[in-house]
Structure 1
């Protein structure tokens, strides 16, 4: 199969004869006759083809070697550079994480200081826990008149007003504010449902109110301070 690619039919690869080379040494001015110039052309072509192309091949090999070496060098340098950049990014992340931990710790300490100094507000919130427990037991027993006697006729009931003051004072984040708003609106619905003697709506409103308050105590850290949660 491979022999079919041999250039046996190409006249350019024919060897130059000794007779042709000898004729070049005895060329006279008459050899420049146009009719005989084809001999000189053939001799020149054969000589050019017979010389091995060492120089071009060597230059090309050198160029390929240089390109390959440069590529490998840049590849190794890229890995080192990439590793260095990754190390810098990790160091930056560590610094940011450390700063975040410091800020969170500072915030917790400040919050704990506020809670420890807010004895009156903690008393209001502890009373809120007890009142909600009484209301929950009454609703569970389907005793809405008992629930109404604890809740009062509106959100202006004294213990609810004091509890709301404590909630607002000890609230600092948007998440905590959202839970306070949910608690207040749910308590208003609870009072309305109890006054209408709607047991099912009262249960739903009570669960929503108690859940919002419990989430707020978790966010503020008061869940570990108040009893009965």
Structure 2
């Protein structure tokens, strides 16, 4: 038996709202939210300039033809064996969010000015932490040489240079149970990248309902890239059997 159309619209609206405004609440006095298990797996060869802070602007193409944009942040760190993706669970400054959303309905994506990126970099460590209902976050980075058959065939990832798959699992206190995001990076360089994405959220309902949104994205480097590991660190990694990404 199909669910009433009003209920479907309500659930879909809740899922889209969660994507466009993922902050459920802000921890008081700058306190960090409870620890969330966050992991990264790497397959194949990746560009060597991924480490750093990144502003991502997603431009959703809704079935109605309307476009809506929202910003979010990643930090990619050099781990002991490979790069590690961190989904920044913070609020993007309201000024930037307003600029992105106001330009979201246009045919061209919003591009930050140098002052926007400088302001974001200066306040990066002081951004308000969100109290989202995460259980765990899993990332998988694939170089084109390690693409699975599915990645080679999907519209969002085929012919891409590399891809990022992120699964966010929530503990159940909000309408969305889990979200899987797939990013195909078609053009990539030291200052940013462009490509296509697809996000599928599973909404909590009498029956789980998948809600899929697609569109294009742009990444913009925030601040200078981190310095490469020192010779001493490389030697320590070598003798400990580690290899940095």
Q: TM-score normalised by the shorter chain: which range applies? A: under 0.3
- Higher percent of residues as helix: 1
Higher Rg: 1
Using the size of structure 2 for normalisation, the TM-score is: 0.19
Using the size of structure 1 for normalisation, the TM-score is: 0.20
